[in-house]
Amino acid sequence: MSETADLIAILRQSADEKVAVAIGRLIDEGLDRHLCRINALAFAERNGFDQEKTIAAFLHAASIGLFDISWNVLCPGCGGVLDTNTTLKTMRQEEYVCSLCAAGYEPTLDEMVEVTFTVSPRIRRIAAHNPEELPPLEYFRQVYWSSGVDLPEEGYTSMVENFIVETVELPPGEKAILSIQLPEEFVVVFEPMTHSVQFLDVKGEPTRERQALSVIIDREHLHNQALEMHPGPLRVTFENRTDHRALPSVFIAGEELHRILRKRRPFLTAKRLLTNQTFRDLYRTDIIEIDQRLKITSLTFLFTDLRGSTELYERVGDLAAFDIVRAHFRVLTDIVAAEAGAVVKTIGDAVMATFPAPDRAVAAALKMRKAMRDLNAERGREDLLLKIGIHEGPCIAVSMNERQDYFGQTVNIASRVQGLATSQSIFATNAVISDARAAEVLDQAKVTPVSKGAMLRGVASEMPLYAIP
């Protein structure tokens, strides 16, 4: 049996079997480009799999050496990859600049960082393991554009050639001359490996005189002001001052290019992975450096606490109470994971969990309450009275006490909202209740939130709160 087959057999024991088999088939039969920067969500959709089971399977596959994980910083405008990291620990720039879009972005983990999976070279060598050898158009497809740009399987080359006038492969230290006919369009001279760019605003009367342009490719001069030129002949001199191959390309920045850039598909974001239970279990100590502060623009926090746990310990004794509390933790953790969330930590009898969106937290809260009622019914006692608070908002991902944690006012408010809840009640803020998908979850459960104004410690004004009966 081959090493790949051995590892797939191991994967089938820890991940969903159907997903594991499909991953094995992809490694054995997939084209090279299909094994480079795999979009786990697209893989799930293509095969009709559950997203959470698919993400978990790829994480387990990476943990046993089938794939390498990549954290790619993206340009929200063009979908290009601005930076690639093997771990979040090396993502330290305060701003990333896309020269193609002529815009700078403060990195957030919501939609600016994708997580992809590339087959390990130890398992199977693919062309993208040597990106210097990829043909120019394949470099754009497999390396420059992110997995969120929905490029077609069929007709990719002909589509790209509709807006790429010319591409030059230029070895390090060498020069090349390119003669082209400039159309009356906005033209971009772009080099995808260094992200250097020169804009040409081509307009006015056509000319028969040959115009000249000199483009130096290095990492010092990535962006130049737009030059005005006339439609007509152009002689471009490229000089590669880097120590690697360059791929200067001439684009027409028209409808054909924008049609590609507009066509997007969902991808696995860093935010979603950080709030994934399987990821936290497998990569507990290798996520964020102690001095890093990574921003998330929207994350939903759920806090729970057991009411009357002290009385429970006194009534049934430490060992029995501990078993009851531990059973409650197992149930809550399973529910959180089933709703695409993750348990950040437990504090005494309390749980702090995160979810990528309010609707998943609300669904989890309703399931938690029912699960506690069911456990109480089995025991014939009202021992497990759960108080739940939910809030959504911006936060900072940090590393504390050797684990990934969160910091900010959103976390504080979520905790204090839970503190206001009475036994077996769910309290949520307006940010949660006003979410359209969360409202659908409540509507399907035939539950109507009841407004409860309250003052929260550390919050200046009264905050709209809702009880979910």
Mean pLDDT, residues 351-355 taken together: 97
Looking at residue 286, its pLDDT comes to 64
Q: Are strands 232-240 and 103-105 parallel, antiparallel or unpaired?
A: unpaired
- Using DSSP's 3-state secondary structure scheme, residue 338 falls into helix
Q: What percent of the chain has pLDDT over 70?
A: 94
DSSP one-letter string for 403-460: EEEEESHHHHHHHHHHHH--TT-EEEEHHHHT-HHHHHHHHHTT---EEEEE--TT-S
Output the 3-class SS for 148-189: CECCCCCCHHHHHCCCEEEECCECCCCEEEEEEEECCCEEEE
Structure confidence at residue 362 as a pLDDT band (50, 70, 90): very high
Whether the pTM exceeds 0.75: the reply is yes
* For residue 314, pLDDT beyond 80: no
Kindly report, residue by residue over 67-85, the tens digit of the pLDDT.
Answer: 999 999 999 999 999 999 9
Contact 9, 2 (CB under 8 A): no
pLDDT of residue 222: 63
CA distance 158 to 137: 10
Q: What are the pLDDT digits (tens) for 268-302?
A: 999 999 999 999 999 876 678 888 889 999 999 99
pLDDT at 310 over 80: no
- Is 191's pLDDT higher than 70? yes
- The pLDDT score that the predictor gives to residue 221 is 64
Is residue 46 scored above 80 in pLDDT?
yes
pLDDT tier at 458, thresholds 50, 70, 90: low
- Confidence at residue 308, expressed as pLDDT on a 0 to 100 scale: 61
Task: Compute the average pLDDT of residues 244-253.
Answer: 95
Query: What is the residue-averaged pLDDT of the chain?
Result: 91
Tell me: pLDDT of 406 over 70: yes
pLDDT in tens, 414-455: 999 998 887 778 999 999 999 999 999 999 999 999 998 766
* Plot region of 332 (φ>0 → left; ψ -120 to 50 → alpha; else → beta): alpha
Report the pLDDT value the prediction gives residue 377, as an integer from 0 to 100. Answer: 85
**Confidence at residue 84, expressed as pLDDT on a 0 to 100 scale:** 94
CB 324 within 8 A of CB 385: no
Tokens of 67: 């794939």
What is the pLDDT, as a whole number, of residue 422? 77
Q: Where are the domains of the chain?
A: 3-132, 164-253, 285-468
pLDDT reported for residue 459? 65
Query: So what's the pLDDT on residue 464?
Result: 84
> What are the pLDDT digits (tens) for 385-396?
889 999 999 999
Q: Is the pLDDT of residue 401 over 80?
A: no
The strand ranges marked E within 1-112 are: 67-74, 81-85, 96-98, 103-105
At residue 400, the pLDDT reads 82
Place of tokens 């029912």: 370
- CATH superfamily, region 285-468: Nucleotide cyclase, GGDEF domain (3.30.70.1230)
The predicted-structure confidence for 82-94, as pLDDT tens digits, reads as follows 999 999 888 888 8
377 or 166, which is more confident = 166
Q: How confident is the model at residue 323 (pLDDT cuts 50, 70, 90)?
A: confident
